[in-house]
Structure 1
Amino acid sequence: MEDITIEELKERMDNNEALYIIDVREEHEFDEFNIGAQLIPLGELPERLDEIEADKDAEIIVHCRSGARSGRAKEYLSSEGYSNVRNLIGGMLAWQAAGY
């Protein structure tokens, strides 16, 4: 699945779409700033797959600080059979730089 831009995500959030978003940053990063996603740090993802409440074919958006860790999360989730994982391009750095 194609990755998602901050503009598309912001628009969909503003439209109150039901989105499933996972933040793969560390807890201290999440505590500093977050967009209300479910926190599952990248290093804990393999042990916490059972906490993902989305079907394997449902859209799942993953994000981190810059897009690198969430890119790895996307690869991992795809390898576990999740077929519709989208990485937020630029992550929270781009989100905050845009003033969202």
Structure 2
Amino acid sequence: MDKKEFLNFVAQGYQRIPVSKTLESFNIDPINIYEKISDESYSYLLESIEGGKKWSRYTIIGLPSQDYIELIEGRLYLHESGKTTEIDTDSPIEWIQNYNEDLKSSLR
């Protein structure tokens, strides 16, 4: 995503816009990068592997957010602006989809 595309999302009222960086190098170990930038809880590394042993094409590193949603033992919690709210729902996935729509998240 370039700056123009990002600003276009902002102009449309989107509140959640993923930002990414593409690195073109075969000499960079994704785990080393992850260890250097993920010094907090709720970060993650997703790596595509070919044949179970070989690094593949994509690595996704997610860093913590101030606001997040947790599902613990069937209970859904919304952590937002330093406040935690337990959400009463029988369908956590549907609730999260509706939450993203209400935020005008570009994560569709």
TM-score, normalised relative to structure 1: 0.23
> Which is richer in helix?
1
TM-score, normalised relative to structure 2: 0.21
Which has the bigger relative contact order, CA under 8 A and spacing at least 6?
1
> Which is richer in strand?
2
Q: Which has the larger radius of gyration?
A: 2
